[in-house]
Amino acid sequence: MRHFWENEYVIIAAYYSVVILCMVVFLAIFEAVTKYKNWEEIKKGNIAVAMATGGKIFGISNIFRFSIEHHNSLLSLIWSGIFGFVLLLAGYFIYEFLTPRFKIDDEIQNDNRAVGFISMVISIGLSYVIGAGIS
């Protein structure tokens, strides 16, 4: 059984499974803190929501990429991912705070693609900074 858990493909499948589970949980948390329902808006064709959500998915995935590269256990992968997600979530609230002239969630829900694009780029950019810190 020991050889089974040391198999490269089993390790990849384990990392993949954990990341998928964390991704679902983290996206649910993001959905809970936004005023709009991501998947309902995307179904309606809201490009701004799709960009913002895509940036969050990329950001979360990128944080886990760094975590996988620099940690050798599932537990450390999960903790690094949770820590990185909390920082990414904090970045979302900081972005909202730094734009007092309008509400980010309202603009994205109204399909303001400029705001959706900036939101996507912020999530992606912060994920690289967070990932570098994790590694």
**Cα–Cα distance between 77 and 98 in angstroms, integer?**
31
- Please give the residue range of the domain that contains residue 28: 2-134
Collapsing DSSP to helix, strand or coil, 41 comes out as: helix
Q: Tell me the chain's radius of gyration from C-alpha atoms.
A: 16
* pLDDT per residue of the chain (135 residues) written in tens, 0 to 9: 677 778 889 888 999 999 999 999 999 999 999 999 999 999 999 999 999 999 999 999 999 999 999 877 889 989 999 999 999 999 999 998 998 888 999 999 999 999 999 999 999 999 999 999 987
Q: How many domains does the chain have?
A: 1
Reported pTM: 0.90
